[in-house]
């Protein structure tokens, strides 16, 4: 059964926007020879081009395989832009279909793992647990870190908790509920996150709202990662607004992901890199 007609056109519009954005991205990608900043060159060489196959990758991808083969169903509750892409915000969905649509890619998981490891993060805040794969990657990179992840859908959150328990990860806390409600609780429990990963409501308004709420809790050594910065025109607008902020010293556009740093010793620059 295909997408409902209105959702089909929304999906096609999003696909067209993503293709146009990718063409613009490819035309803007910088080579290593243009990376004069030692900090950015280290990021490029140590994270983007690091080909090490850590044992954690195979372990974590095993959970993806399980989820992609899970034919059970859950009642999905979606507060974000995904509800526009795939249909109503509530409804029954097979776990394997949800996994196919919502899990981060293996490349993105490996990136998060290496970034967390390089950052030596001890406190991590995530918007959008989904089925838990991204949190597992980060927990593998920093087994002693505290991770708080927020998920709006109760049954999705329950599946993520099951994965965390099965993996033996005791350092991940899942807060279930709308971000508007749970963010204050999360920041009360973790007032100074080292790393924040936005992978939830893919709309400009909510993204900027949560960004403003997080900003007072960030410091010069924090790093913030945004997922799907070219997912739609309004997400591109949100990304442009964020990287123009005076607190943001360096931004890195990786197409699917965007990364911002606040280190005062860095010159204010924007980079477009491929991985």
Averaged pLDDT for residues 122-131: 97
**Tens digits of residue pLDDT in 45-64:** 999 999 999 999 999 999 99
Q: Please, which residues bridge with residue 223 across strands? A: 195, 261
What is the average pLDDT value for the chain, to the nearest integer? 89
Query: What pLDDT is recorded for position 79?
Result: 67
Query: What pLDDT is recorded for position 28?
Result: 81
Are the CB atoms for 114 and 141 separated by under 8 Å?
A: yes
Asked whether the predicted pLDDT for residue 2 surpasses 60, the reply is no
Task: Tokens for 175, please give them.
Answer: 């807060």
Averaged pLDDT for residues 4-22: 53
**Tens digits of residue pLDDT in 67-108:** 999 999 999 887 665 544 444 457 899 999 999 999 999 999
| Residue 186: closest CA among 213, 205, 165, 159 | 213
**Going from the N-terminus, what domains does the chain have, and what CATH number goes with each?**
5-272 (3.40.50.150)
- Which pLDDT band holds residue 29 (cuts at 50, 70, 90)? confident
**Tens digits of residue pLDDT in 140-180:** 999 999 999 999 999 999 999 999 999 999 999 999 999 99
- Which pLDDT band holds residue 43 (cuts at 50, 70, 90)? very high
Averaged pLDDT for residues 23-42: 84
């Amino acid at each position: 059964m295909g997408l409902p007609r209105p959702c089909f056109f929304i999906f096609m519009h999003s696909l067209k926007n993503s293709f146009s954005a990718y063409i613009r991205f490819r035309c803007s990608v910088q080579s290593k020879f243009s990376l004069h900043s030692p900090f950015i060159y280290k990021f490029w060489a140590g994270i983007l081009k690091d080909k090490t196959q850590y044992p954690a990758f195979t372990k974590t991808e095993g959970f993806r395989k399980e989820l992609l083969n899970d034919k059970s169903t859950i009642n999905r509750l979606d507060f974000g832009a995904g509800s526009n892409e795939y249909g109503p915000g509530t409804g029954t969905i097979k776990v394997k279909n949800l996994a196919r649509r919502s899990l981060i890619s293996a490349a993105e998981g490996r990136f998060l793992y290496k970034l967390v490891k390089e950052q030596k993060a001890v406190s991590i805040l995530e918007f959008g647990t989904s089925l838990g794969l991204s949190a597992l990657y980060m927990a593998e990179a920093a087994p002693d870190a505290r991770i708080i992840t927020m998920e709006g859908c109760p049954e999705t959150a329950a599946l993520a908790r099951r994965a965390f328990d099965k993996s033996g990860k005791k350092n991940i806390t899942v807060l279930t509920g709308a971000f508007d409600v749970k963010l204050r609780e999360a920041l009360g429990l973790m007032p100074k996150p080292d790393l924040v990963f936005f992978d939830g409501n893919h709309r400009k308004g909510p993204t900027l709202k949560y960004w403003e709420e997080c900003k007072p809790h960030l410091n010069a050594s924090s790093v913030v990662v945004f997922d799907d910065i070219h997912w739609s025109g309004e997400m591109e607008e949100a990304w442009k607004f964020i990287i123009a902020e005076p607190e943001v010293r360096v931004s890195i556009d990786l197409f699917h992901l965007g990364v911002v740093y606040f280190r005062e010793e860095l010159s204010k620059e924007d980079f477009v890199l491929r991985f």
